[in-house]
């Protein structure tokens, strides 16, 4: 069992994310009300932050993190959801931040995230790279396995299965991640696919 803390560290290695990470968080919210949807799902919708968006997620997941900033020198959004399934944990994260000079495409962003993850995670093994669409936008993705120390939750070291998908919207990068214990790989595939299918940018 583990959290996405180490993947967060990988994200922070990108030049733009590193700059944003050093800024003060303007708003941190610990709870959020989301209405129940059909088939055991809930709808998350937010208009604050650098860009509004909505998506559906399984009702077994709970909101665990919201970080927002939308100032002239700091603009980003981080949303985290988590679920305990038996003795294992699955987490979904959404990141939004302005594209930087070295990360101008979804493919370049995914390649950078994979390189950084390989540098900070143990026993990194690429599963596959994918091409898809999210909310009508061309998106790039990848999946891989690695060992996560579990330092964020005090959980035993164990193998993790990661899925990442990135797409560009105007001058922003939107990244959708899922990290789960490998024992949940088949169980959580549908959860992540549903996220990709229902994610929508709000105008």
**Strands 62-71, 53-58: pairing kind:** unpaired
Domain span at residue 49 reads 5-201
Strands (E), 29-73: 35-36, 41-46, 53-58, 62-71
Least confident residue range of 39-48, 56-65, 122-131, 134-143: 39-48
CATH code, 191: 3.40.1000.10
- Counting the structural domains of the chain, the total is 1
Please give the mean pLDDT across all residues of the chain: 78
What does the radius of gyration of the chain's CA atoms come to, in whole angstroms? 16
Please determine, for residue 6, whether its predicted confidence score (pLDDT) is greater than 90. no
| Residues linked to residue 71 through DSSP beta bridges, in sequence order | 74
Please determine, for residue 123, whether its predicted confidence score (pLDDT) is greater than 50. yes
| Residues linked to residue 84 through DSSP beta bridges, in sequence order | 89
Q: Which residues of 112-128 are buried (b: 16+ CB within 10 A; e: fewer)?
A: bbbebbeebbeeeeeee
Q: What is the pLDDT of residue 162?
A: 95
Please determine, for residue 7, whether its predicted confidence score (pLDDT) is greater than 70. no
User: What's the burial of 52, exposed, middle or buried (CB within 10 Å: 0-12/13-18/19+)?
Assistant: middle
User: pLDDT (tens digit, 9 = 90+) per residue, 148-166?
Assistant: 644 443 344 468 999 999 9
Least confident residue range of 1-10, 24-33, 71-80, 180-189: 24-33
**Strands 137-148, 200-201: pairing kind:** unpaired
Higher-pLDDT residue of 19, 167 = 167
Q: What is the pLDDT of residue 101?
A: 65
111's tokens: 């390649």
CB atoms within 10 A of CB 171: 10
| Residues linked to residue 142 through DSSP beta bridges, in sequence order | 129, 164
Please determine, for residue 12, whether its predicted confidence score (pLDDT) is greater than 90. no
């Amino acid at each position: 069992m583990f959290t996405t803390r180490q993947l967060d560290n990988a994200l922070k290695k990108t030049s733009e994310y590193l700059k944003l990470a050093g800024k003060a968080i303007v708003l941190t919210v610990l709870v959020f009300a989301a209405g129940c949807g059909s088939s055991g799902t809930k709808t998350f919708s937010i208009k604050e932050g650098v860009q509004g968006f909505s998506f559906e997620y399984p009702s077994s997941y709970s909101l665990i993190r919201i970080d927002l900033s939308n100032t002239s020198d700091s603009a980003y959004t981080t949303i985290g959801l988590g679920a305990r399934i038996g003795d294992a944990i699955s987490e979904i994260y959404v990141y939004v931040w302005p594209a930087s000079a070295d990360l101008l495409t979804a493919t370049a962003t995914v390649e950078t995230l994979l390189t950084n993850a390989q540098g900070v995670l143990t026993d990194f093994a690429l599963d596959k790279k994918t091409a898809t669409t999210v909310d009508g936008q061309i998106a790039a993705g990848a999946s891989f396995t690695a060992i996560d120390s579990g330092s964020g939750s005090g959980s035993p070291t164990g193998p993790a299965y990661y899925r990442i998908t990135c797409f560009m919207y105007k001058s922003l990068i939107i990244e959708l991640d899922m990290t789960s214990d490998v024992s949940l790989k088949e169980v959580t595939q549908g959860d992540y696919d549903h996220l990709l299918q229902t994610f929508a940018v709000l105008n």
